[in-house]
Chain A
Amino acid sequence: MSEENKDNWMIWEVFIRSRNGLSHKHVGSIHAPDAQMAIKNARDVYTRRSEGISIWVVESEAITASSPDEKEPLFTPADDKVYRHPTFYDIPDEVGHI
C-alpha cells in the first residue's frame, strides 16, 4: 500500500435542492478528503447543467439506515390503517369540498 492508499478519500452522500421551495434530494455520492472539497466536487459532478441551487454533503458513514430485513415489521402496520386517509370517510356530495 502506498502512502496515498492510506489516505483513501471518504465517501460523501450528495443532496441537491433543485430550486427554491423544494427539499434537498439525494443524487449520488462523491469522494473527497473533507466536507469543503466534497461540496466542490459535488458541484462539478452533479450540477453541470444548472441542476441545483444548494448542495448538502454528508459523510456516508454517518448515515444510519433501516435494515431491509425490517421492512415488514416497520412498514406493513401502516398498510391496513385505511382510516388514516381522507377517502375512508363518507361525506355526501351535497356538502361540497371538505
Chain B
Amino acid sequence: MTKELSLEERFQQYVDAENKVEPKDWMPEKYRKTLIRQISQHAHSEVVGMLPEANWITRAPSLRRKVALLAKVQDEAGHGLYLYSAAETLGADRQALVKDLLDGKAKYSSIFNYPTPTWADIGAIGWLVDGAAIANQVMLCRTSYGPYARAMVRICKEESFHQRQGYEILLTLVRGTEAQKKMAQDSLNRWWWPSLMMFGPTDDHSPNSAQSMKWKIKRKSNDELREEFIDKTVPQAEFLGLTIPDPKLKWNEERGHYDHSEIDWEEFYDVISGKGKCNKQRMDARNKAHAEGKWVREAANVYARKQAEHSKQSAA
C-alpha cells in the first residue's frame, strides 16, 4: 500500500530533488513567511548599506574613486529593489515592508550600524563587508525559491566589482605613506570582527537554520560560510601586509582551516538590539530621505494621472 503523501511531504520531496519553487506553486505557509522575512531583511540591508559609504562620496580622494563609489552605492539601491520585487512575488506588500523598516520594526544587517570615520573604511567595507555578503549571496544563487535565486545571480554578477574596488583602495593605501598604511590597519582592526559577525550566530545558536537548510533556502551553515570567508581572506590580508586583529588566528594543518578566537557575541546582540554606534543615525537618515522624497512620489502620481486624462481626451 502506498502511503498518501501530505502536501508538505510532497513539497519537501520536490525541494529535495533540487527543483525550484515558483511564485504560484503551493508552499508551506512557514516557508513563505521565512522567505518574506529573509528577503525583506536582505533588501533593507542593501538600502541601509548605502548610508555608511554615501558618507564618503563627496570626499572621495579622486574622480576615479568617486565615480566608482557612486556606481557601487547606486548598485546597492538597485539590489534593494530586486529584492523587494522578489519579496512581492510571495504576496508581501512593498509599502508595508518599507514602513516596517522606517518604524524600526524590521531588521537589517547589523554591520551597517558601525561608523565610517576614515577613507580606509570604504576600502575595508568593499573588501570585507562586500566579501562576506558575496560569500552568503553566492550560496543563495542556489536557494530553492526561484525569484530569490535569480535576483542573487544578478546581484553577484554586479557585486564582484564592489569587492575589487575596496581591495584596490586598501592596496593603494598600504603602498602609500606610513600614515596611510596606519589608516588601512586601523580600519581592518575595526571591521574584521563585525564582518565575521555578518554570518550570524554560531550554528548551535541559530534556531531557524535547520529548517531553512532542510527547505534549501540556505545551502550552507553560518559557521561553514564564516570559515570559508576567513580561509579566503587571511591570505589577502597578508598580501596587503596588514595584520588581522586576532592573536589566536593560526592555520590548522589538520583541519585545513584557520583557527580563530571566540567572537564577541555580546557585541553582536547589543548592536542588533539598537546599541550600535550608528543605529539611530541610520534610521533617522532613512526616515529623512523617505520624507524628503514624498513630493517626488506625489508629483509622479499627479503626472501619471494627468497624462492618462490627456490621452483619454485626445482619443475622444
Selected from B26, B78, B94, B298, the residue in CB contact (under 8 A) with A68 is: B26
Q: Which of A32-40, A72-80, A81-89, A90-98 contacts B (4 or more CB under 8 A)?
A: A32-40
CB pair A30 B22 closer than 8 Å: no
The count of chain B contact residues (Cβ–Cβ below 8 Å) is 29
Q: Which of A1-53 contact B (CB under 8 A)?
A: 3-5, 7-9, 11, 27-34, 36-37, 44-45, 48-49
Q: When chains A and B are docked, how far (Å) is the Cα of A3 from the Cα of B301? A: 11
Given contacts A33-B300, A68-B25, A68-B26, contact A28 B82 (CB under 8 A): yes
B74 at the interface (CB under 8 A from A): yes
CB pair B22 A11 closer than 8 Å: no
CB pair B304 A33 closer than 8 Å: yes
Given contacts A5-B95, A8-B95, A49-B158, contact A34 B22 (CB under 8 A): no
Nearest chain B CB to A40's CB is how many angstroms away?
A: 10
Decide if the interface of chain B is mainly helix, strand, loop or mixed: helix
Q: Which of B13-36 contact A (CB under 8 A)?
A: 22, 24-26
Q: When chains A and B are docked, how far (Å) is the Cα of A94 from the Cα of B158? A: 51
B139 at the interface (CB under 8 A from A): no
CB pair B94 A4 closer than 8 Å: no
Selected from B71, B81, B301, the residue in CB contact (under 8 A) with A7 is: B301
Nearest chain B CB to A7's CB is how many angstroms away?
A: 4
Task: Kindly supply a per-residue 1/0 record for chain B positions 65-93, scoring 1 wherever the CB is within 8 Å of any chain A CB and 0 otherwise.
Answer: 00000010011001001100100110000
B316 at the interface (CB under 8 A from A): no
CB pair B301 A33 closer than 8 Å: yes
Residues in A with CB closer than 8 Å to B301 are 4, 7, 9, 33
B236 at the interface (CB under 8 A from A): no
A65 at the interface (CB under 8 A from B): yes
Q: When chains A and B are docked, how far (Å) is the Cα of A88 from the Cα of B99? A: 58
CB pair A34 B304 closer than 8 Å: yes
Selected from B24, B25, B26, B74, the residue in CB contact (under 8 A) with A48 is: B74
Interface centre among B24, B297, B301 (most CB of A within 10 A): B301
Residues in B with CB closer than 8 Å to A28 are 82, 85, 150-151, 154
B63 at the interface (CB under 8 A from A): no
Given contacts A4-B294, A48-B75, contact A68 B24 (CB under 8 A): yes
CB pair B158 A4 closer than 8 Å: no
Residues in A with CB closer than 8 Å to B294 are 4
Task: Kindly supply a per-residue 1/0 record for chain B positions 283-316, scoring 1 wherever the CB is within 8 Å of any chain A CB and 0 otherwise.
Answer: 0000000000010011011011101100000000
Nearest chain A CB to B169's CB is how many angstroms away?
A: 21
Instruction: Specify the chain B residue showing the minimal Cβ separation from A48.
Output: B78
Q: When chains A and B are docked, how far (Å) is the Cα of A8 from the Cα of B24? A: 23
Instruction: Specify the chain A residue showing the minimal Cβ separation from B25.
Output: A68
Q: When chains A and B are docked, how far (Å) is the Cα of A27 from the Cα of B86? A: 11
Residues in A with CB closer than 8 Å to B158 are 48-49
Residues in A with CB closer than 8 Å to B305 are 33
Nearest chain B CB to A55's CB is how many angstroms away?
A: 15
Task: Kindly supply a per-residue 1/0 record for chain A positions 53-69, scoring 1 wherever the CB is within 8 Å of any chain B CB and 0 otherwise.
Answer: 00000000000010110
Residues in B with CB closer than 8 Å to A31 are 94
Q: When chains A and B are docked, how far (Å) is the Cα of A34 from the Cα of B311? A: 13
Task: Kindly supply a per-residue 1/0 record for chain B positions 108-150, scoring 1 wherever the CB is within 8 Å of any chain A CB and 0 otherwise.
Answer: 0000000000000000000000000000000000000000001
Nearest chain B CB to A38's CB is how many angstroms away?
A: 10
Q: Which 10 A-B pairs have the closest CB atoms?
A: A33-B304, A34-B304, A7-B301, A29-B85, A68-B25, A33-B300, A33-B301, A45-B78, A68-B24, A45-B81
- List 8 additional A-B contacts (Cβ < 8 Å) besides A11-B88, A44-B78, A48-B158: A4-B298, A5-B95, A28-B150, A33-B301, A33-B304, A34-B308, A45-B78, A68-B25
Q: List 21 A-B contacts (CB under 8 A).
A: A7-B298, A8-B94, A9-B300, A28-B85, A28-B154, A29-B85, A29-B88, A29-B89, A30-B81, A33-B300, A34-B303, A34-B304, A34-B308, A36-B307, A37-B304, A45-B78, A48-B71, A48-B75, A49-B158, A68-B24, A68-B25
